[in-house]
Structure 1
Amino acid sequence: MSVTPSTDSKNKLTYPTKNGKVLEFDISEGACSKFGFFHGSRVTTPKGSATVIGVKDDNLWFHIDRDSGASFWDNGKDYEALLYQLGVQLDDNDFSTITDKSGQYRVKRVTYMNKPISIVLQNENGPCPLISIGNVLLLQQKISIDQDIKTITLKKLGDKIIGYARLIYHDNPDILPIIDDYDKNVLPSLETGLIVNIKFDNICGFDKTEPCQIFDYLKIKLVHGWIYPEEAEGHVFVSDLTYNDLAAKMTSFGQSFPDITSSTEEQIRDFFACNQLTIKGLELIKENLEEDELCVFFRNNHFATMTKHAGDLHILVSDVGYESESAVVWDKIIGIGGENLFLSGEFKTRRENQVEIARLDLLAIGYNDEQVGQAIDHVNQSKLTDSSEPFSIAIEYLNSKGYTPG
């Protein structure tokens, strides 16, 4: 029997199953939200690529590409079970599902400053200005997303941001109307991006357009690292310009800079093509951010949540591709060439996290503080490989010393 899927109502879908039956599925956002995947999304599953169909009998059904119809997993009763037990994930080759008609964005639980926090994830083409602002406020705990929420719409995130703004300006009759205007006219535009015009003389240098001023009202620094070094020959020609100014001059370089030397011209051209980040820019950001201060960092037409911790700069990893990587929260900036190091929410490497877990496990099974301290010192002094298990190395050391749990 051949069946053509049909939609009987807005939130219902008649669709064939793998065993030949024809069932009616609930494809509404509300029904699917518990599972974190939505009707029409392309996903990878233990049985291969699949399309999410909808909900029936409290199960989320998928149509595996090679099957004749939809099926489900008995143990896939919610998002965490699907993601962590079964390994169901959005198809990396089909990011359109992340910003589907329901406008849902993934929410990830991380640990930051010893507290569980929800952050919002995005794809590489996502509307990062709004998400980066939201993540700053989430990490500052000025807004929050309930721990049971797996996805959020940009409208709801924007409502939380505006709600916070109204709270801090509740007694300021001059600012409140501006916040109301931002709610109606500015925030919707941030859902699709934000055009900025960088000034090359200041890490906080941006043309103060109306959308850009949202950062000021929320008391969040917007910074960039595209700074021309003062000691360089071309500084006098470039430092007072904006990006738009310099871009216009680059189209007719000789006329724009008639008396410039060839070496200075080369420097300016290199600066214009430097991926919007210089060593001087990084140095100035470090100097001007307080320890553990959160801000929004602009580079290459993207906005990211940034902080300074232990004197180093870190970018919040909000790419949906790292959703299931609990130990990947921060990306430490090593240099301007793309060098980086992924760290946990507590700014530890994967190995440091494993050693800390081993320490806690040793204490939990009854070894005393002194014994555990010796074992961890031994682990840290050992030449660890990617396959080394800190706990096993520690146990081997404790056994060699004749120590037993108390």
Structure 2
Amino acid sequence: MNLRWSLKDITWPDPRVGGLRRELKIVCQSENGPCSLISLVNVLALRGSIFLDPSRHHVSYDYLSSLIGDFLIERPQDSKLSLASALSILPTTVEGLNLNPSFLSPSAFQQEGDGGELALFELCGVRLTHGWVVENEEDRELMGRVGTWDAAQGVLVEGQVAEAELEKEGRITDEGLKKIEDANRVRTFLDSTRTQLTPTGLKALSVSLEPQEVVALFRNSHLSVLYKRPAAESEDPEDPLLFSLVTDESFGSEPEVVWEPLADVHTSTGFVNSDFITSSTAGGDIAGLSAEEVGRRADIENGAGEQDLDQQLAKQLQSEEDAQAAASLATSDRRQPSSSSRRSGIPPTPGSPPAGARQSIEQGRGQFAASGSGGAEELKRLGEKEKKKDKKGCLVM
């Protein structure tokens, strides 16, 4: 497989040596990258079970699968799960795994087929967890009968069939009515827990993890790395203890963006660095900025000069004036040109922006000069505005 992903340097309080910090590399996830493979590799790297070559800046699938395969073969196994099944499922991690969480426990996943997905993580000694746990007794009774995500989809289908029968026949049996009621309740539960995390599930995760434990977290149909920080290391008892490893490659050039606190079901509380201190960059606090904005700021900090920004803005303004001129020419074919337009026969200097563009550039400089790097950022934003209209971005959490 001709696939590769970038690496990022972080420091890590290694629990094997009493929390002493060591430098290591983690794998970053590109757009729609293989989150299951990357989360497994990063958990093993944090635990010291595998080592990513410190001289590398990128890794391929072949390199990562070789590391995992060697680790599995050399690791003593006392499980009844099949090593062959685990190794056979490894290539599918590039496209995603078929995981079926249960709504009753943060550690419960139903085995599918020969269990290769679960076997891969279990044989690696990596716990799979989730926080998609029912909130109240009424939901617990229903979802306890339903059990899992896949079974919930079956309940929804049965409800749709029963509704179609009612619409067609004008009547329905008690059994059919019960199917419709169950489907509506299941749909309400799923709609109210779209983040695949509930307050009860969040508390259950915090209780089920040991201090300094690293696990794979299933959330939003995505696998990430979850770490529980020891409470003794926190200065404030209200500080979050659960942290998700930030692996999106948009933050690859942000050494201070390492972890994201998992403290709320619906909203993000920003980012922290390797010392679990709120993150900031040379341009200011990054909390609340999109991945695109952080990447754009990194580009500026890495040397995008004002001259380049001026050229981009001039090209944009030139393009806009050309479009306006073309529209005017199309209209002028149907009417007599004015004397002023007949006198205007001096073409602009090739390669230079028109007067309007030059004036706008100078105005832009004056308007944003007081804001330092922010001015350069604004100029760049203006210069790339049209280009971004056709560009689709995707931040993978």
TM-score, with length taken from structure 1: 0.56
CA distance in 1, matches of 2:50, 2:244: 20
Deviation for aligned residue 1:217 = 0.8
Instruction: State the partner residue of 2:269.
Output: 340
Query: Relative to 1, partners in 2 of residues 1:261 and 1:301: Cα closer, same or farther, differing over 3 Å?
Result: closer
Which SS does the other structure have where 1:158 is aligned? helix
Instruction: State the partner residue of 1:103.
Output: 3
Which SS does the other structure have where 1:283 is aligned? helix
CA distance in 2, matches of 1:257, 1:278: 30
Instruction: State the partner residue of 1:290.
Output: 210
Deviation for aligned residue 1:250 = 1.8
Kept after mapping to 2: 8 A contact 1:305/1:316: yes
- Look up the equivalent residue of 2:83 and give its one-letter code: I
Query: Relative to 1, partners in 2 of residues 1:232 and 1:148: Cα closer, same or farther, differing over 3 Å?
Result: same
Query: Relative to 1, partners in 2 of residues 1:133 and 1:242: Cα closer, same or farther, differing over 3 Å?
Result: same
- Look up the equivalent residue of 1:106 and give its one-letter code: S
Query: Relative to 1, partners in 2 of residues 1:322 and 1:351: Cα closer, same or farther, differing over 3 Å?
Result: closer
Deviation for aligned residue 1:148 = 1.2
CA RMSD of aligned residues (A): 3.0
Instruction: State the partner residue of 1:379.
Output: none
Instruction: State the partner residue of 2:63.
Output: 156
Query: Quick one: which of 121, 126, 133 aligns to 1:227?
Result: 133
Deviation for aligned residue 1:339 = 2.1
Unpaired runs of 5+ residues, structure 2, are: 14-20, 163-174, 232-239, 283-371, 373-397
Query: Quick one: which of 182, 197, 207 aligns to 2:86?
Result: 182
Query: Relative to 1, partners in 2 of residues 1:252 and 1:287: Cα closer, same or farther, differing over 3 Å?
Result: same
Query: Relative to 1, partners in 2 of residues 1:351 and 1:321: Cα closer, same or farther, differing over 3 Å?
Result: closer
Kept after mapping to 2: 8 A contact 1:327/1:343: yes
Q: Is 1:136 paired with 2:136?
A: no
Kept after mapping to 2: 8 A contact 1:205/1:223: yes
Deviation for aligned residue 1:340 = 2.6
Q: Structure 1 vs Structure 2: percent identity of aligned residues?
A: 25
CA distance in 1, matches of 2:176, 2:151: 13
Instruction: State the partner residue of 2:325.
Output: none
Which SS does the other structure have where 1:251 is aligned? helix
CA distance in 1, matches of 2:271, 2:41: 22
CA distance in 2, matches of 1:351, 1:193: 33
Which SS does the other structure have where 1:350 is aligned? coil
Q: Is 1:196 paired with 2:99?
A: yes
CA distance in 1, matches of 2:274, 2:31: 21
Asked which structure has the greater CA Rg, the reply is: 2
Unpaired runs of 5+ residues, structure 1, are: 1-100, 354-386, 388-406
Instruction: State the partner residue of 1:249.
Output: 155
Deviation for aligned residue 1:268 = 3.8
CA distance in 2, matches of 1:325, 1:140: 23
Within-5 A mapping of 1:380-391: none
Within-5 A mapping of 1:275-286: 275=194, 276-286=196-206
Kept after mapping to 1: 8 A contact 2:43/2:216: yes
Q: Is 1:319 paired with 2:248?
A: yes
- Look up the equivalent residue of 2:267 and give its one-letter code: G
Kept after mapping to 2: 8 A contact 1:198/1:242: yes
Larger strand proportion of the pair: 1
Deviation for aligned residue 1:349 = 1.4
Deviation for aligned residue 1:260 = 9.1
Query: Relative to 1, partners in 2 of residues 1:278 and 1:257: Cα closer, same or farther, differing over 3 Å?
Result: farther
Which SS does the other structure have where 1:340 is aligned? coil
Instruction: State the partner residue of 1:19.
Output: none
Instruction: State the partner residue of 2:227.
Output: 307
Within-5 A mapping of 1:361-372: none
